[in-house]
Amino acid sequence: MIDFEALFKVSYGLYIVSSGNKNKGNGFISNTIFQVTSEPARFSACCNKNNYTAQFIQKTGAFSVSVLHKDTSPDIFGRFGYNSGKDFNKMEGMQVKFGETGVPIVLNDAIAFLECRVVQTFDVGTHLLFIGELVQSGILDDTLEPITYLDYRQVKKGVAPKNAPTYVDQSKLEKKVSGSAFKKFKCTACGYIYDEAKEGKTFANLPDDWVCPVCGTPKEDFIEV
């Protein structure tokens, strides 16, 4: 038997993985960055094949990782996590520096960065595993803690986008039946749930200019669930 709740006990951080160059770049929110060897220092980045950034990584043979902190702005998750760079330039207006390989490194809400040159690429089905050798790394802010995927789920109540390796179809999770009169409202963009019982305020009473704390979608684009 597979209990999909068990999958949420695996710990991850949250990162912006970027690639491209000064003319055109792209990035996406990833939770699946991890070190695979210590000598030399190499990191694995897991990327959906449909992900626009995957094309940039394959073209340039390099990627950067920006480590996000616990109070990362919801705009960052909205911009890099729930939108495609095919539709707009995600790097526009961002604080970006360019690495030794030429890839953009997003500095907004980042406490550290890694820059890697791809040395191996593995096909694991819907996703590609890029193995990158570390060429540069640095601390940007040593006072803030890295955000974990658990923080994101518990505090920010975010859910993984469909392209994420850790996406779980909500119908697979056991339904928790509640006898309460409180209602829940779901963001149609990112799946964030506004739970009146937890928030202590009805959805109707939220101001009209209230937006989804995860992806910035307006209140009117929420549906009752």
Q: Are the C-beta atoms of 110 and 139 separated by less than 8 Å?
A: no
What is the identity of the amino acid at 104? P
Q: Which is nearer to a copy of itself, 135 or 193 (CB)?
A: 135
Contact between 18 and a copy of itself (CB under 8 A)? no
Angle (CA) 57-59-65 rounded to 5° is 20
Contact between 33 and a copy of itself (CB under 8 A)? yes
Angle (CA) 190-154-203 rounded to 5° is 60
Of the candidate residues 38, 143, 171, 180, the single one contacting a copy of itself (CB under 8 A)? 38
- Binders of a copy of itself among 163-182, rule CB under 8 A? 164-168
Tokens 């200019």 belong to which residue?
209
**Residue from 150, 160, 122 nearest 45 by CA:** 122
**Total residues binding a copy of itself (CB under 8 A):** 57
Q: Which is nearer to a copy of itself, 38 or 171 (CB)?
A: 38
* Separation CA 47–CA 49 (nearest Å): 6
Q: Which is nearer to a copy of itself, 13 or 74 (CB)?
A: 13
Both tokens of 171, joined, read: 């119908």
Q: Which is nearer to a copy of itself, 2 or 223 (CB)?
A: 2
Contact between 203 and a copy of itself (CB under 8 A)? no
Q: Which is nearer to a copy of itself, 76 or 211 (CB)?
A: 76
* Separation CA 72–CA 109 (nearest Å): 5
Contact between 155 and a copy of itself (CB under 8 A)? no
Q: Which is nearer to a copy of itself, 129 or 206 (CB)?
A: 129
What are the residues whose beta carbons fall under 8 Å from the beta carbon of 170, sequence distance 6 or more? 159, 191
CB burial of 155-173 (b: ≥16 within 10 Å; e: otherwise) equals ebbbbbbebbbbeeeeeee
- Binders of a copy of itself among 85-144, rule CB under 8 A? 111-114, 120, 122, 124-127, 129, 131, 134-139, 142
- Chain contacts with a copy of itself (rule: CB under 8 A): 1-7, 9-13, 32-44, 46, 65, 67, 111-114, 120, 122, 124-127, 129, 131, 134-139, 142, 145-146, 148-150, 164-168
